[in-house]
Amino acid sequence: MLVLTPPMGWNSWNTFGENINEKVVMDSADTLVSTGLAAAGYNYIVIDDCWSLRERGEDGRIVPDPVKFPHGMKYVADYVHSKGLKFGMYSCAGMLTCAGYPASFDHEFIDAATFAEWGVDYLKYDYCFHPSTVPGPVLYKRMAVALANCGRDIVFSACSWGSDETKKWIKQTGANLWRTTGDINDSWRSIKELSLIAGDAITYGSINCYPDMDMLVTGMKGVGNVGFAGCTDAEYRLHYSLWALLGSPLMIGCDIRQMDDFTRETLLNLEVIAINQDPDYNQAYDASAYGVTFQDAEKNEHPIYVRQLSNGDLAIGFFNLSDQPTSRWNSYLALDRIGLPESTGKTLEMKELWTGETFKVTNGIFGETIAPHSCRLFRAKVVNA
Ligand code: GLA
């Protein structure tokens, strides 16, 4: 199926892990709608691992845990659909899921049929406990062909953590998104690590096959399954800005029923979401001097990502992943690097999307002093100099 922009929604894993149940999922569906998140584009509710019994039923089908989901999955799917949302679930290409529940290896068609009967719209497909005898690309093709023949449109979300060079073969499988890295957790260390390696995978992304930088930890504040140390507000904003600008799917991982105002404002910045969902889906590139000059982009703690938008504007993000403030000499953008040399007679009218501040760039260059672990995210219009 064709997915025109990166999927957005909420996934149970980061906060709830194995502690999921019907009430959490249905309450979260209600909350997506009542907070305006659904109207802003977050329309998938995805149940991650740990939703089933440990054994398949006698008919060979996976059985939802009757304690966690006493009315079965179709009931939950119907409820999610009644809210105008889409319903996602989780399985794995191996014998077992990562948490040790039955997975879909050698059961691809029966599982795809079961998901279709329940009304599933999105399947996250993990990579744990896969047999060494069948190559990864084939495992993902097996589920892709089963989904394509299950009689229902189901978004296929591959989750092989970027291993075995996923980026090079994932488009052959028909997956609509692929996880580019190992798991995120709610700490600055994790956000920084994933941010430094993001630039590589995004160059393989395109409409209908999006680089999934993992679920958001924004707003978790150290609470829940991958809660770890938690992050500062500035770090959460950097994380969200980078994921949005680079075109990652935006799957919220915090408990949205408990969001504070800062989290709500971060997740509901419609101008930032518009960049993520830009219909052209042009790839972002690093226009910092380091990104342009050096090969080892993974060492660049001050990337300046730029993305051409469909109406002619540019999205520009200055990121400071280091522990020191940036200075104008290590974080500046020369307009000729992005296609606007002086000879064009053009410059940029900037709008910072978190503060609303506006200004015009003069002399073909501008630098930003950015606090450690912070960012500035702009939408820029091309105007006469
Ligand atoms: C893997 C995935 C995570 C999550 C867990 C569930 O680690 O990468 O996103 O789905 O499995 O067990």
Phi, psi of 170 (to 5 degrees): -65, -35
**Closest by Cα among 333, 349, 207 to 282:** 207
Query: Which active-site residues does the annotation give?
Result: 126, 183
C-alpha of residue 51 to centroid of ligand 1, in Å: 13
Cα distances from 7 to residues 33, 209, 361, in angstroms, run 16, 10, 34
Which ligand 1 atom is at minimum distance from the Cα of 161?
A: 8
The answer, yes or no, to whether any atom of ligand 1 lies below 6 A from the CB of 159, is yes
The answer, yes or no, to whether any atom of ligand 1 lies below 6 A from the CB of 286, is no
Q: Give the count of alpha carbons within 13 A of 160, CB side only.
A: 24
Give me the mean pLDDT over the 70-86 stretch. 98
259-281 confidence digits (pLDDT tens): 999 999 999 999 999 999 999 99
Quick one: tokens of 307? 């993305």
The answer, yes or no, to whether any atom of ligand 1 lies below 6 A from the CB of 99, is yes
111-136 confidence digits (pLDDT tens): 999 999 999 999 999 999 999 999 99
d(CA 61, CA 111): 7
Which ligand 1 atom is at minimum distance from the Cα of 127?
A: 1
Res 330: pLDDT: 83
C-alpha of residue 352 to centroid of ligand 1, in Å: 35
C-alpha of residue 164 to centroid of ligand 1, in Å: 17
Res 297: pLDDT: 66
Res 327: pLDDT: 86
Whose structure tokens read 């060492």? 299
**Closest by Cα among 120, 183, 127, 181 to 147:** 120
196-223 confidence digits (pLDDT tens): 999 889 999 999 999 999 999 999 999 9
pLDDT exceeds 80 at position 290:
no
d(CA 324, CA 301): 10
pLDDT exceeds 80 at position 291:
no
131-158 confidence digits (pLDDT tens): 999 999 999 999 999 999 999 999 999 9
d(CA 46, CA 43): 10
* Beta bridge mates, 367: 332
What is the pLDDT of the chain when averaged over all its residues?
96
DSSP 33-45: HHTTTTTTT--EE
C-alpha of residue 124 to centroid of ligand 1, in Å: 9
Domains present along the chain, CATH in parentheses: 8-276 (3.20.20.70), 285-384 (2.60.40.1180)
The answer, yes or no, to whether any atom of ligand 1 lies below 6 A from the CB of 98, is yes
Res 295: pLDDT: 64
C-alpha of residue 36 to centroid of ligand 1, in Å: 28
Give me the mean pLDDT over the 330-335 stretch. 92
C-alpha of residue 94 to centroid of ligand 1, in Å: 13
Give me the mean pLDDT over the 57-75 stretch. 98
The answer, yes or no, to whether any atom of ligand 1 lies below 6 A from the CB of 48, is yes
| Residue closest by Cα to atom 9 of ligand 1 | 183
* Beta bridge mates, 285: 306
| Residue closest by Cα to atom 6 of ligand 1 | 49
Which ligand 1 atom is at minimum distance from the Cα of 183?
A: 8
Give me the mean pLDDT over the 342-354 stretch. 98
- pTM of the entire structure? 0.97
The answer, yes or no, to whether any atom of ligand 1 lies below 6 A from the CB of 126, is yes
Taking residue 144's Cβ as centre, other Cβ atoms within 10 Å add up to: 20
d(CA 136, CA 328): 45
Give me the mean pLDDT over the 66-88 stretch. 98
| Residue closest by Cα to atom 8 of ligand 1 | 183
Cβ–Cβ < 8 Å for 321, 301? yes
pLDDT exceeds 90 at position 289:
no
